[in-house]
Amino acid sequence: MSKKEILHKLKSLFNPETVAVIGASDNPDKLGFHVMKSLTDGGFNGEIVPVNPGSKRIMGIPASPSIIGVRNPIDLAVIVLPADLVPEIFEECHIKRIKGIVLITAGFKEIDDPTGGKRQSKLAEIANRAAIPVIGPNTFGIINLHKNLNASFTPEFSWLEKGDVTLVSQSGGISHLLAFMAMRRNMRISKIIGLGNRLNIGFADMIAYLMDDPETKVLALYLEGVNEPRHLVETAIANRGKKPIVAYKTGSASKGDQESLSHTGSMAGNQKVYEGALRQAGIFCVNSTQALIDLSQTLSVCSLPEGRRIAILTGQAGPGMAACDVCETEGLEIAPFKPETQKIINELLPPLALRTNPVDMGPAWYNSDAVHGIVRAVMDDENVDGIILLTMFASANRDVVPNLSRLFIKWNQKKPVITCFISPPGIWDKHVISLEKAGAIINLSSPERAAKTMACLWQYKKMIKGA
């Protein structure tokens, strides 16, 4: 069977009507229990078929002794059985004409034993002959929040809000880290995909599929090693500029390379060579999980800046200076305002305030109209390509964020607006969350993160334009 036939079935894998859990269990000590709980608690509205020869019902759902014995067609099989039983199950999936497999089971290419690699090769032969796409082995699973599909062993993934950023990772641990960071950031996610050992579906295949996925706007990749780097680069080049791709690749240290081999069954490779090739292909590289989350979320909300001229508006001088340092280090320009903009600012702020860029709006705390007027004037300034707005809570500025909310929503990211609004819990949280859900701002927890992310937006724009 051809790779094209395999990839064609990915749509059914991510949007199944019927899911069979092979190795389902009522025992909380078994992974099959947690996969069943993820599907049922996640609200999957298709049919769930537990498969276990030792049970008639699992979690109140009628069970089947084998996959062959299931009457209805099955789109997706999630396998949580010991590694030595999996080849036979794959053959049964072939007979049953199953359209996709998530193989959670470990014990294949990633183990320090040649039998693991041989098992994986055998599974690849069966899956390719049957034209079945396989996510895994050695994976936590997949999540499609738009389908209420949590085909993983972590029910809590379903707590995420539905959105348009898709996370693709080799590491289950990093997938959990990114998902829970996203949850705490109120970041909205489309899919989470744990590629694991990549039996016959790898990063290149995911890029090709997700470029046509209407529920994905931004791709965030975590890579350790790549079996076919040329295929990945060629696929990314073919889709360059269609959707933003952000990648964090680890394994630059020799110890990390060794760890990658035992973790996902592939060598990490030379870090600089990889990053250079990825950038040439239009994949923007970052150097931390935090940056991966920050930039992916920002790209899903913000417009790209037309240039590198940035305005920094701050409620206190210190945070503005911190943001300035990062902007200048990262190649951004602290823009001079147009004369008419500067005139408005001069009229709204007292003479002793810092009134040129960066603007210290602290003296206007008590005057919400003045703050509103300054922000609006800078938004409209043709010399400004992006705005960083920083305010640390103090009793005197309690109303600043609520009073700016309508302006942000009306502005609707015509130019990118990144904020750092920090307050004690419960003061600005409701307003910030509401603005982020509306796509009106991206709010980050430090001036440095806000400035770095703005710089990444500009650097991404330059990369895509080939500048």
- 30 burial type by CB count under 10 A (0-12 exposed, 13-18 middle, 19+ buried): middle
Domains of the chain: which residue ranges? 1-139, 160-301, 303-465
pLDDT at 313 over 50: yes
| Identical fold between 1-139 and 160-301 | yes
The amino acid sitting at 127 is A
**366-418: pLDDT as tens digits:** 788 899 999 999 999 999 999 999 999 998 889 999 999 999 999 999 999 99
Residue 126 to residue 121: CA distance in whole angstroms: 9
pLDDT score recorded for residue 265: 45
Q: How does 229-246 read in b/e, with b if 16+ C-beta sit within 10 Å?
A: bebbbebbeebbeebbbb
Strands 245-249 and 218-223: parallel
Residue 104 to residue 109: CA distance in whole angstroms: 13
pTM: 0.92
**In the CATH scheme, what is the homologous superfamily, with its name and number, of domain 303-465?**
Succinyl-CoA synthetase domains (3.40.50.261)
pLDDT at 261 over 50: no
**448-463: pLDDT as tens digits:** 999 999 999 999 999 9
Residue 132 to residue 311: CA distance in whole angstroms: 52
Residue 360 to residue 433: CA distance in whole angstroms: 25
**116-126: pLDDT as tens digits:** 888 899 999 99
Domain 1-139 sits in CATH at: 3.40.50.720
**86-128: pLDDT as tens digits:** 999 999 999 999 999 999 998 887 877 788 888 899 999 999 9
Query: Considering only CA atoms, which of 153, 193, 149 is closest in space to residue 46?
Result: 149
Domain 160-301 sits in CATH at: 3.40.50.261
